[in-house]
Amino acid sequence: MKSRQMTAMRKYKHIIFDIDGTLIDTEEAILQSLQDTVREILHEDIEKCDLKFALGIPGGIALRKLGITDIERANDRWNEHLLKYKSRIRLFDGIPELLNGLKMNGYKLGIVTSKTRNEYTADFAVPFALSDYFSTVICVEDASRSKPFPEPLLTYLNTAHINAEDALYIGDTLYDCQCAQNAGVDFGLAAWGNAAAQGVSADYIFKRPADVLFLLQEDSGRNFKNSIEVMNGNRFEIEDVEKNRRSPALISELLRIWEASVRASHHFLTETDICRLTPQAENALRQIETLWVVQDNLSPVGFMGVQERKIGMLFLHPDCFRKGLGKELVQRAFDELDVVFVDVNEQNPNAKMFYEQMGFKVFRRNEYDSEGNPFPILEMKR
């Protein structure tokens, strides 16, 4: 699986989505109902793993591949069985926020799906009430051929009056990828819907919906510093994000990292404490003078904030703990920002030990933190 993910994305006008496996999680419901249909019509028990080929292609084609001849009747029965599993269908986490963020940033949104128009309405538009986000919707009957052929996306381009380079298509299957490539449209893999996709040569790989918004920043607006190489050869990029470019999507992503890091390291905090501290953390992310965002394949995994030669925040996702990344960040802050001070929670002895190893020493103790919270703070200086 190759990608262009280490380069900034070009400016697109339209972001086009597949539905199943991209916007909504339908895999279990589709495969279970297809298994029931095959059992009823062919009197065969086929494992769900052997039916996954049906994901991402029109139902009629999938049924024909299974050797079913009365396609119309079988498709009707499939849809009837699907009703039994409707409760298992859900939006992927972060999709409403992604669609809203894209709209707010001026992108036109569209859909290219292998669903029929009736299925689009019944399975997506009505239950999830998101159809107002999409200005153009291409269903299977709107094009002369279905995925993996280019006609669905070519129909979209013609309908929306745009060129191929103006669009990015986001989907989760090889069929989606091939449709995009055949139409000359860039393709982004929705890895949140199909992390194990094989043979998908995507232009971009999105681990989470929030990555789409983060990566759609214009190339000229990004300020990357040199990469950091840590133990085991892992390499991370550092971006210096100025205040006017700290978008709601980025702040939301960094807050998720902050929460995960705090839960893994600040064991003295309760869930109530974390909820109460979250708005303070959000305000700090927006206001701190220097904010370095640490990225792995352009996805944030940590951050450091510095104000007036003082480290005000340093949080890494737990997956990045004990890899030498924190040490490299602090050393870089020494070299480039002449950092001298840092505050640590007294109840977090690991943090105190880390900064002592970096040359800091405690010179003052405060009973409360800078926001007046009852968590003793150790002020350190090097």
Q: Based on the fold, state whether residues 367 and 304 are members of the same structural domain.
A: yes
Tell which of 66, 88, 110 closes a domain. 88
Q: Based on the fold, state whether residues 269 and 313 are members of the same structural domain.
A: yes
Q: Based on the fold, state whether residues 350 and 283 are members of the same structural domain.
A: yes
Residue 7, in any domain of the structure: no
SS3 110: strand
Tell which of 172, 194, 215 closes a domain. 215
Q: Are 257 and 303 in contact (CB under 8 A)?
A: yes
What CATH number should be reported for the domain holding residue 47?
A: 1.10.150
Residue 306, in any domain of the structure: yes
Q: CA–CA separation, 191 vs 177, rounded Å?
A: 12
> Tens-of-pLDDT digits for all 382 residues of the chain?
444 443 445 589 999 999 998 999 888 888 899 999 999 999 999 998 888 888 767 788 889 999 999 999 998 999 899 889 888 889 998 899 889 888 877 899 999 999 999 989 988 999 999 999 999 999 999 999 999 999 999 999 999 999 999 999 999 988 899 999 999 999 999 988 765 555 678 888 888 888 888 777 544 355 555 667 665 667 788 888 889 888 888 899 899 999 999 999 999 999 999 999 999 999 999 999 999 999 876 678 999 999 999 999 999 999 999 888 999 999 999 999 999 999 999 999 999 999 999 999 999 999 988 778 889 999 999 9
Q: Based on the fold, state whether residues 94 and 200 are members of the same structural domain.
A: yes
Residue 317, in any domain of the structure: yes
Q: Which domain holds residue 280?
A: 223-381
Residue 98 CB burial class (10 angstroms; 0-12, 13-18, ≥19): buried
* Domain tally, the chain: 3
How many Å separate Cα 171 from the centre of its chain? 13
Tell which of 51, 68, 88 closes a domain. 88
Q: What is the DSSP string of 129-175?
A: --GGGEEEEE-GGGSSS-TTSSHHHHHHHHHHT--GGGEEEEESSHH
